[in-house]
């Protein structure tokens, strides 16, 4: 084999090897394994302003409160995340979420969603099992008591993705494959979240914060990606921008305090 042919073959092998390495760089996050930066989660409240933006027009949707707690349940200390939305307008809806998790691993245990709109209250309560997500039979007035969806592999709770990503080892080039499910929705699926780079955000009042920029296409490669900005220190989410499905603008979330 000539020198030129050997060089060409070597180049092809190197490129092929690089492709394999790039694919292997995606880290699957398994349910039940300790998360590298679970200690980033601290008891406390974060409030986010949710808004819709189309061109230069910005309209406030609501204020979203997310609280991290560490509480006792059934004799065990567990992660407990509660959320609620304070809507705007003459007839705002009320929505509250109450979710419990195994300490250290973020393995989901139960999830209760309470909504009230136009005077009608609704309760949906779920339990995460290794092979399925089911409705909780012992929760009063549970509209989802007969719910059941198979989970071929254990999944995480999509309703607490912000806190979950906060507990991952974010770094340049990091990619994670995470099996998520929306309780009450369809079967779980794996989603890839990528650290696409970093950016310094300017804060109101003149402050600045250095952030990891994380992207996800939610298995819709035809759509623009959703972008998250996580502070490099404690990895709290500072900002999120998601394109609206109809292409009319974006849905944004910005940390207030």
Q: Is residue 121 part of a domain?
A: yes
The Cα 180–Cα 158 span in angstroms is 5
Helix (H) or strand (E) holding 94: strand 94-101
Range of the domain at 85: 25-255
Q: Is residue 20 part of a domain?
A: no
pLDDT of amino acid 46:
98
DSSP assigned state of 142: B
Q: Is residue 4 part of a domain?
A: no
pLDDT of amino acid 92:
72
Q: What is the CATH number of the domain that holds 201?
A: 2.50.20
Chain segment 166-188, per-residue pLDDT in tens: 999 999 999 999 999 999 999 99
Q: Is residue 66 part of a domain?
A: yes
Q: Is residue 83 part of a domain?
A: yes
pLDDT of amino acid 93:
73
Strands 156-157 and 175-181: parallel
The Cα 125–Cα 111 span in angstroms is 6
pLDDT of amino acid 5:
46
Q: Is residue 106 part of a domain?
A: yes
The whole-number mean pLDDT for each consecutive block of 10 residues of the chain, a chain of 257 residues, reads 44 42 75 98 98 95 97 98 88 89 99 92 97 97 98 97 99 98 97 98 91 98 96 98 93 96
Q: Is residue 17 part of a domain?
A: no
Contact indicator for 101, 81 with CB cutoff of 8 Å = yes
Q: Is residue 101 part of a domain?
A: yes
Nearest to 126 by CA among 103, 142, 102: 142
Question: For the chain, how many structural domains are there in total?
Answer: 1
């Amino acid at each position: 084999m000539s020198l030129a042919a050997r060089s060409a073959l070597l180049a092809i092998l190197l490129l092929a090897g690089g492709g394999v390495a790039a694919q292997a760089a995606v880290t699957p996050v398994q349910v039940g394994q300790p998360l590298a930066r679970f200690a980033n989660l601290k008891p406390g409240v974060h409030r986010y302003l949710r808004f819709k933006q189309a061109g230069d027009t910005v309209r406030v949707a609501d204020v979203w409160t997310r609280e991290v707690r560490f509480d006792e349940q059934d004799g065990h200390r567990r992660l407990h995340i509660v959320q609620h939305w304070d809507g705007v307008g003459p007839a705002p809806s009320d929505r509250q979420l109450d979710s419990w998790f195994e300490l250290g691993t973020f393995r989901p245990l139960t999830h209760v969603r309470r909504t009230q709109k136009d005077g009608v209250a609704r309760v949906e309560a779920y339990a995460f099992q290794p092979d399925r997500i089911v409705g909780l039979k012992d929760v009063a007035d549970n509209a989802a008591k007969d719910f059941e969806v198979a989970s071929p592999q254990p999944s995480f709770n999509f309703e607490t993705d912000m806190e979950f990503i906060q507990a991952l080892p974010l770094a340049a080039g990091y990619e994670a494959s995470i099996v998520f499910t929306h309780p009450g929705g369809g079967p779980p699926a794996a989603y890839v979240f990528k650290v696409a780079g970093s950016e310094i955000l300017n804060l109101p009042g003149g402050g600045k914060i250095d952030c990891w920029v994380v992207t996800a296409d939610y298995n819709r490669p035809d759509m623009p990606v959703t972008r998250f900005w996580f502070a490099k220190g404690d990895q709290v989410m500072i900002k999120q921008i998601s394109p609206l499905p109809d292409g009319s603008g974006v849905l944004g979330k910005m940390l207030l305090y």
